[in-house]
Amino acid sequence: MATGSPPDSDPGSEQQQFRMVGQALSLGAELVTPALVGWWLDQQYGWAPFGVVSGGALGFVLVIIHALRLTPTDKPPREPPSEKRTP
């Protein structure tokens, strides 16, 4: 940490570890919650098994989208367009 980097950029820092645990719990909740809501709807309205299957599929899609957003990209940041105009 003597390098002057922010404390949360060190992969072994406690803050970074808590952030990773929070993201993992968030992904788990995104997968399970829609399936549980679907199960509840199945019980209330007799839709079995369509509610839980639809909820599970929705949860799976949400987890994939969230995981893709968490994945760092290898692309360098884009530079703003230059003000020069060629005739």
Q: What residues contact 70, with CB distance under 8 A and at least 6 apart?
A: 23
| The pLDDT of residue 1 | 45
Please report which confidence band the pLDDT of residue 11 belongs to, taking 50, 70 and 90 as the band edges. Answer: low
Q: What is the pTM of this model?
A: 0.69
pLDDT tens per residue, range 24-56: 999 999 999 999 999 999 999 999 999 999 999
Instruction: State the DSSP H helix or E strand holding residue 25, giving kind and residue range, or none if neither.
Output: helix 14-45
| The pLDDT of residue 56 | 96
> Where is pLDDT greater, at 46 or 8?
46
pLDDT at 8 over 60: no
Dihedral (C-alpha) 70, 73, 76, 81: value to the nearest 10 degrees?
A: -70
